[in-house]
């Protein structure tokens, strides 16, 4: 079923052969974090956190785009009309542009969101999902995609879902290879991705459990997806997308540790500068990042345990300074490579 004409990534000049995308992550992928990741290199496309659309004339803060790569703006709503009218309203107010990359969230597992029919709950009714996509397509000439899972409670409707989605006017799709109820308890099953590649007439981006360049290569070769989207992997290793680009399988430990520490302080100073400018406290997103970052296998363990009690960014900076200095000689590998999820992790909604 794969189309022979240049796909949307080729048309937009994005990605060489294998597209690398930063996943949308609520509480983390704000413009400042995205800029920091773009500074590292390796990302072809980045994404906003989801934006929940609840009203036709909803006010939305200005969206900071990037010079170097496209930004996927992720919207979430179960109501086609609300969504369409809101998009038009946001065009009129110069918040959205007609050439933006819009992405529809069909994967959020939050109970609160799902009880209102949004996020992964849309998987229960593929026809309604198709109606929403078609309605948005009517008003949005720019790139349009969906980020979804393989089912709500189970994968039993996956074949049906793909059948319906094969008629959807999308430019591409990102599939997180789990059901909503799997949460992160089960490993992602990439076989679902291969099935989507063979069924859908537009490109498929694979998502779920890619933590290394080796895994990305395996995903590419075993499923033939058009690209990979990485979430937690980038939080644990902010150099992941660049490693995938370079095919870098084993970084030199001391060099990597130095890069990681530089990354951390550089990110922190961006947050400190923004906090000074905006007057808004930004300890939350830094702590959220630390939950994952402190699990990097080239760093000594324990940073998050210390940082989580900090009351300010300056305090986090002091803690990190002492932590990294006193662990200068701790051998790499005191952290185990990620397979399990930190206890403090919750996919939450503000
Ligand atoms: C902290 C956090 C926040 C997330 N927020 C979003 C979100 O706003 N929208 C979305 O579609 N997925 C969200 N996700 C899911 C990720 O985009 C991704 O699909 C999932 O983590 C699986 O990919 P991974 O194994 O590469 O992490 C979030 C995940 C995390 C860890």
Tell me the per-residue pLDDT of 24-41, one tens digit each, with 9 for 90 and over.
999 999 999 999 999 999
Candidate CATH numbers 3.30.565.10, 3.60.20.10, 3.20.20.70, 3.30.70.270; the one for domain 14-246: 3.20.20.70
Task: Determine if ligand 1 sits within 6 Å of the CB of residue 208.
Answer: yes
The total number of residues shown for the chain amounts to 350
Tell me the per-residue pLDDT of 225-241, one tens digit each, with 9 for 90 and over.
999 999 999 999 999 99
Q: How far is CA 227 from CA 23, 140, 149, 159, 187, in A?
A: 12, 24, 16, 22, 19
Tell me the per-residue pLDDT of 170-224, one tens digit each, with 9 for 90 and over.
999 999 999 999 878 788 999 999 999 999 999 999 999 999 999 999 999 999 9
Task: Determine if ligand 1 sits within 6 Å of the CB of residue 49.
Answer: yes
The answer to whether 146 touches 106, Cβ cutoff 8 Å, is yes
Q: Which residues pair with 174 in a beta bridge?
A: 147, 205
Which of 20, 21, 22, 24 most suits a substitution to test ligand 1, by most atoms within 8 Å of the C-beta? Answer: 24
The yes-or-no verdict on residue 348 having pLDDT over 60 is no
Write down the domain spans for the chain: 14-246, 253-326
The answer to whether 265 touches 58, Cβ cutoff 8 Å, is no
The answer to whether 205 touches 176, Cβ cutoff 8 Å, is no
The yes-or-no verdict on residue 349 having pLDDT over 50 is no
CA of 333 to the centre of ligand 1 (A): 26
Which of 25, 110, 208, 338 most suits a substitution to test ligand 1, by most atoms within 8 Å of the C-beta? Answer: 25
Task: Determine if ligand 1 sits within 6 Å of the CB of residue 283.
Answer: no
What mean pLDDT comes out for the span 6-18?
Answer: 89
Tell me the per-residue pLDDT of 61-75, one tens digit each, with 9 for 90 and over.
999 999 999 999 999
The model's pTM: 0.93
Q: Which atom of ligand 1 is nearest to the CA of 105?
A: 11
Main-chain phi, psi angles of 261, to 5 degrees: -65, -40
Give the DSSP H/E element, type plus range, for residue 33: helix 31-40
Residue 304 banded pLDDT, cuts 50, 70, 90:
confident
Q: 230: Cβ–Cβ under 8 A, 6 or more apart, which residues?
A: 20, 21, 22, 23, 207, 210, 216, 240, 241, 244
Instruction: Give Cα 327 distance to the centre of its chain.
Output: 31
The yes-or-no verdict on residue 324 having pLDDT over 50 is yes
Task: Determine if ligand 1 sits within 6 Å of the CB of residue 220.
Answer: no
DSSP 245-311: HHT--S--HHHHHHHHHHHHHHHHHHHHHHHHHH----HHHHHHHHHHHTT-TTS-S-HHHHHTT-S
The answer to whether 233 touches 208, Cβ cutoff 8 Å, is no
Which two tokens mark 167?
Answer: 């008629």
- Tokens 């079923």 sit at which residue? 1
């Amino acid at each position: 079923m794969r189309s022979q004409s240049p796909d949307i990534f080729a048309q937009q000049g994005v990605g060489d052969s294998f597209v690398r995308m930063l996943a949308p992550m609520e509480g983390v992928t704000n413009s400042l974090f995205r800029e920091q990741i773009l500074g590292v290199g390796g990302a072809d496309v980045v994404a906003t956190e989801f934006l929940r659309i609840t009203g036709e004339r909803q006010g939305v803060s200005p969206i900071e785009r990037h010079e170097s790569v496209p930004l996927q703006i992720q919207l979430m709503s179960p109501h086609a009309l609300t969504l369409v009218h809101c998009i038009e309203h946001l065009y009129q107010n110069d918040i959205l542009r007609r050439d933006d990359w819009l992405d529809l969230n069909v994967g959020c597992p939050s109970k609160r969101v799902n009880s209102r029919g949004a996020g992964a709950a849309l998987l229960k009714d593929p026809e309604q999902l198709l109606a929403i996509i078609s309605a948005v397509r009517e008003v949005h000439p720019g790139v349009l995609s969906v980020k979804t899972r393989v089912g709500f409670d189970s994968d039993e409707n996956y074949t049906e879902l793909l059948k319906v989605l094969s008629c959807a006017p999308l430019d591409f799709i990102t599939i997180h290879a789990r059901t909503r109820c799997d949460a992160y308890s089960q490993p992602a099953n990439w076989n679902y991705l291969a099935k989507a590649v063979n069924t859908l007439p537009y490109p498929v981006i694979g998502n779920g459990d890619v933590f290394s360049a080796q895994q990305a290569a395996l995903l590419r070769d075993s499923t033939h997806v058009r690209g990979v989207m990485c979430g937690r992997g980038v939080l644990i290793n902010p150099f992941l997308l660049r490693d995938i680009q370079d095919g870098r399988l084993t970084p030199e430990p001391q060099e990597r540790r130095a890069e990681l520490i530089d990354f951390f302080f550089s990110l922190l100073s961006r947050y400190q500068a923004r906090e000074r400018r905006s007057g808004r406290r930004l300890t939350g997103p830094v702590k959220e990042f630390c939950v994952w970052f402190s699990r990097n296998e080239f760093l000594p363990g324990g940073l998050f345990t210390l940082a989580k009690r900090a009351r300010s960014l300056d305090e986090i900076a002091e803690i990190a300074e002492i932590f990294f200095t006193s662990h200068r000689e701790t051998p790499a590998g005191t952290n185990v490579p990620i397979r399990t999820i930190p206890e403090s992790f919750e996919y939450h909604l503000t």
